[in-house]
Amino acid sequence: MKISYQSIGTIFTPFKSVEGMPIQPSGAEGIEGTIEILPEFVEGLKDLDGFSHVILLYHLHRVTSYSLSVVPFLDKVEHGIFATRAPKRPNAIGLSIVSLSAVKGNKLFVKNIDVLDGTPLLDIKPYVPDFDQVQATSTGWFEKNVKRAKTFSSDDRFKDK
């Protein structure tokens, strides 16, 4: 089954290349970005400015192939791609929760963004703790590695040759 989507806007950030990027928003504290929404979708932003955080879904446009087994940035052993947040996924959809500073016209001003400059945006959802926070009792291989995400940045391992 083929599924088609369209870009609803573009994410602009200081990260011009994959190398050296933070690997999660938790490592992108304070990094500012701007999102420009295409004119035909601006009406959909009404009341978004009431939310302190939003979920961004975007197309990882530099990813051109996938790997089902990967050694993620935060570990040294291989895991299934669906047990990681690595970008080379069968459907290259990225998810980031960012802080929303302001909405002005067709522009969103955001903080704590770990996204590559020029990334096509697919969807914006308001972040609602009652829906989006669950009491996770186990986080698999992340358990002993996750604290490193704050200081870790990417290398070229998921770059297409």
Binding mask 50-89 for its own copies (x = CB under 8 A): xxxxxx-x-x--------xx--------xxxxxxxx---x
As a whole number of angstroms, the distance between CA 8 and CA 124 comes to: 9
Q: Are 159 and 18 in contact (CB under 8 A)?
A: yes
Dihedrals phi, psi of 97, to nearest 5 degrees: -100, 120
Q: Are 97 and 127 in contact (CB under 8 A)?
A: yes
Which one of the spans 2-10, 12-20, 151-159 is the region binding its own copies (CB under 8 A)?
2-10
* For its own copies, the closer CB: 17 or 52: 52
Letter for the amino acid at 25?
A: P
Q: How far is the CB of 12 from its own copies (least distance, A)?
A: 15
Q: How far is the CB of 37 from its own copies (least distance, A)?
A: 8
Q: How many residues bind its own copies (CB under 8 A)?
A: 68
* Interior/surface letters 69-85, b for 16+ CB within 10 angstroms, e for the rest: ebebbbeeeebebeebb
Dihedrals phi, psi of 149, to nearest 5 degrees: -60, -25
Q: How far is the CB of 79 from its own copies (least distance, A)?
A: 4
> Which of 46, 76, 151, 161 touches its own copies (CB under 8 A)?
46
Dihedrals phi, psi of 58, to nearest 5 degrees: -145, 165
Residue numbers at the binding site for its own copies (CB under 8 A) = 1-8, 24-26, 41, 43-55, 57, 59, 68-69, 78-85, 89-91, 93, 95, 97, 99, 120, 122-134, 136-142, 146-147, 149
